[in-house]
Amino acid sequence: MNRLWTPWRLDYVSNASHSTASCIFCDALADIGNQPLVVHRGRSAFVILNKYPYNNGHLMVVFNRHIGRLADATPDELTEVMTLTRTSELVLTEAYHPHGFNTGLNIGKPAGAGVLDHLHVHIVPRWNGDTNFMTVTGETRVLPEELSQTASRLTPLFLRLAD
């Protein structure tokens, strides 16, 4: 049997079943200056790398306010989140040249929301043939770029393309 060592995932698997009183997105927003995964900050929302990405470049556009439904958002918040989602698509296209995207929201636990009650939009770049045998047979994702490299690649593109 072959082994693929992923020591950076230990924290995730060790703590995945433990509930915490804090919210990862509220924590990131409170410490945004020291948060290396945040690649852009807007007025009502911010863009952060997914710490456990499906693919390289997996971003989330997160409302600043801790809300769980689109119905709770203001028109200005909705506009900025959709604008940042569009900008994320432009940034990822320039940085990675993907063939497509999965973009969406998981609202509520039954819908697959991993962070309950803090709404965020996932933007996942996709390439023809990117689902390979590792995911299908080994339930393992292979990511060729570290998150710090992804952040360094995307942050200047957000600075240029955000407006």
Q: Which residues are catalytic?
A: 120
Instruction: In whole angstroms, give the CA distance from residue 49 to residue 151.
Output: 7
Sign, CA torsion 161/124/141/96: negative
Cα 112 to Cα 17, 117, 120, distances in angstroms: 15, 12, 12
Nearest to 59, CA basis, from 51, 69, 70: 51
Quickly count: other Cβ atoms within 10 Å of residue 53's Cβ.
Answer: 19
Element (H, E) at 41: strand 38-41
